[in-house]
Amino acid sequence: MSTREKMNMGELYTDMSEGLPEERRAGKERVYDFNLTRPSEEAKRLDLLKSIMGSLGKSCWIEPPLHVAYGSHIHIGNHFYANFNLTVVDDATVTIGDNVMIAPNVTLATAGHPIDPEIRITGQQFSLPIIIEDNVWLGTGVMVNPGVTIGRNSVIGAGSVVTKSIPADVVAAGVPCRVIRPITAADRETFLR
């Protein structure tokens, strides 16, 4: 099994082989250029985003600074918005659906390290894909851990640490993040609850 295959399956690997350091560096070079664009250079930003991401839908906007491990393992749908300081550790695939909104200082981390110190000091790590389905809103400072899926239409409250998958159509928050309540028709009448 190749290192790349291991990276999407939760198997232990080291990422210092099979051209991975060069791939990581290339992504970081493109992100560096993106982060140095002027606010008026919208077309240049879009071109750079297309070169960074594995795929990018239409009407997508990411406020710099952006931080990625590779960039090429991130797939974003249409009508996406991310505010300042999005960090994506995309050792495994990160799939983001349509109409997703991400507040400032959000981290999506597909990679982790073994708890056992004897294994951890070998430099091995594991990764699992993250999926953010359509119409999700991630509040300020949310952290999403490896292997998590956030179901369509759900809202994750500010400061949450999402350690387990969250179903569709709910408001969830906390450390660790848990479902608070379903999204209901009442949410059309009041915006904050």
Query: The tokens of 67 are what?
Result: 């931080």
Out of 67, 75, 79, 113, pick the active-site residue: 113
H or E element that contains 180: strand 178-182
C-beta separation of 92 from 129 below 8 A: yes
Q: Please indicate whether residue 67 is annotated as part of the active site.
A: no
H or E element that contains 108: strand 107-109
- Rounded CA-CA distance 14/65 in Å is 27
Cβ neighbour number for residue 4 with a 10 Å cutoff: 17
The alpha carbon of 55 is separated from its chain's Cα centroid by a whole number of angstroms, namely 13
Q: In 16-54, which positions are buried (b, 16+ CB within 10 angstroms) versus exposed (e)?
A: eeeebeebbebbbebbeebeebeeeeeeebbebbebbbe
The residues, any chain, with a CB within 8 Å of residue 114's CB and separated by 6 or more, are 12, 120, 124, 125, 126
Q: Which residues are catalytic?
A: 113
